[in-house]
Amino acid sequence: MWERPAQPATVQVGPLEVNVPSVPGAWWVVDGQQRATALVATLRANVDVVNPAFRIFFDAREERFVSAGRGEAIPDHWLALNADITGWQRQHPELPDAEIRACESFSVAIRDYRIPVYVVQGDEERAVIDIFDRLNTFRNRLTRAEVVNALSGVDGQMEPLRLEALAARVRGFGFGPIEGRVLAQTVQAVRGEHVDGDLDGSFPSDEERGRAFTQTELVLGHVIDFLRDECGIPHVRVLPYSACLPVLARFVARSGPPSGRPRQLLARWVWRVPVAAVAKPRSHEPLGAWILRRAQWWRDLLEAVGDDPMSSAMGLLEHAPAGDTAWKLGLDPFDLPSW
């Protein structure tokens, strides 16, 4: 940690959000950001957290850790890591004594575990960079320029109303980074506006921008749940088309999380998009003509999303023909170890 002054801010650690006052001697994470985030998020995540990696439970029957998605039923003998052990026992008096004792032992072990923390004091940034450089010897090393850039963020806190702040919060879902252009289009789609408009100039006030970003974050949580659970897509890198996100976000914003038959049709649409005829240029078609045709196609898809979930799902499928039946999925572009 680096002991430095901190201005009042809303601090986001994974799914946990904390409003903190001005602190003269705050501890800024220099090394171990991912580990600190994983620990805090796992031990403090609420039941609505989007990233299943943070929904961890202790299975009192098997005495092991398990995870679950938001849509999964939680057995009575699973203890959430952020649960109050006494309250949990009162809610489940039917559990055997052995399972109760296992949960009590687990709770004590978590509570009493000690984590060593090294705190660097002083204002000399060069000394902190040297220390970080010596610690940064495992896995993928950061360059010195990346270290300097990371530490420069200590003094300049991210503005909560910037698109970068929304992107950082969405990364906490564990679905990977969403491209800024696509994220801006998603905000516009949720608001019911044209996705090719100017995002910065479309808000009459900072309050309106904040509401739009908050709504988009909520909507994207449901979209990612749908992609993971119904479509089997665990990461944005495996998403057939990132432009699916604004369309699915508009659907959720207007009709809520997809369910029933519309949910099945939407999953079919997601996988049909990359084989649709418009997804690749026609024979001897100029590149510019294909780009315009594809842009119009996506605008038509957004227009097909209305207030009725069934009609919206059917309309999307009508705009995504089956295409070439000889098409096969190629995995060559995916660099899986880089995830």
Q: Are residues 122 and 169 in the same domain?
A: no
The answer to whether 77 and 59 are in contact (CB under 8 A) is yes
Least Cα distance to 200 among 246, 218, 208, 250 occurs for 208
Amino acid, single-letter form, for residue 233 = I
pLDDT band for position 321 (50/70/90)?
Answer: low
pLDDT of amino acid 157: 44
Average pLDDT over residues 227-234: 91
Average pLDDT of every residue of the chain = 79
Q: Are residues 103 and 242 in the same domain?
A: no
Q: Are residues 100 and 242 in the same domain?
A: no
Q: Are residues 112 and 169 in the same domain?
A: no
Higher pLDDT, 52 or 159: 52
pLDDT at 331 over 60: no
Q: Are residues 244 and 316 in the same domain?
A: yes
Give residue-wise pLDDT tens across range 132-182.
666 666 555 555 555 555 555 444 444 455 788 788 878 878 898 898 888
Q: Which residue has the tokens 């060559």?
A: 332
pLDDT band for position 309 (50/70/90)?
Answer: very high
Highest mean pLDDT among 76-80, 118-122, 318-322: 76-80
Domain boundary pick from 91, 126, 157? 157
Domain boundary pick from 113, 135, 157? 157
Locate the DSSP E strands across the chain: 2-6, 9-13, 16-20, 23-28, 56-59, 64-67, 78-80
pLDDT at 90 over 60: yes
Percent of the chain with pLDDT over 90: 18
Q: Are residues 80 and 129 in the same domain?
A: yes
* Number of domains forming the structure of the chain: 2
The answer to whether 216 and 190 are in contact (CB under 8 A) is yes
- Calculate the CA 85 to chain-centre distance: 29
Q: Are residues 290 and 191 in the same domain?
A: yes
Q: Are residues 205 and 220 in the same domain?
A: yes
pLDDT of amino acid 266: 93
Higher pLDDT, 224 or 287: 224
pLDDT at 197 over 80: no
- DSSP-assigned letter for residue 120: B
Least Cα distance to 60 among 24, 94, 20 occurs for 94
pLDDT at 300 over 70: yes
Q: Are residues 258 and 115 in the same domain?
A: no
Give residue-wise pLDDT tens across range 53-88.
778 889 999 999 988 877 778 898 998 887 888 888
Residue 90 sits in which domain range?
A: 1-157
Q: Are residues 88 and 215 in the same domain?
A: no
pLDDT at 308 over 70: yes
pLDDT band for position 267 (50/70/90)?
Answer: very high
Q: Are residues 84 and 125 in the same domain?
A: yes
Domain boundary pick from 106, 135, 157? 157
pLDDT band for position 271 (50/70/90)?
Answer: confident
pLDDT band for position 193 (50/70/90)?
Answer: confident
Q: Are residues 181 and 287 in the same domain?
A: yes
Average pLDDT over residues 40-60: 80
pLDDT at 336 over 50: yes
Amino acid, single-letter form, for residue 188 = Q
C-alpha–C-alpha distance, residues 256 and 314, integer Å:
16
pLDDT of amino acid 302: 85
The answer to whether 6 and 28 are in contact (CB under 8 A) is yes
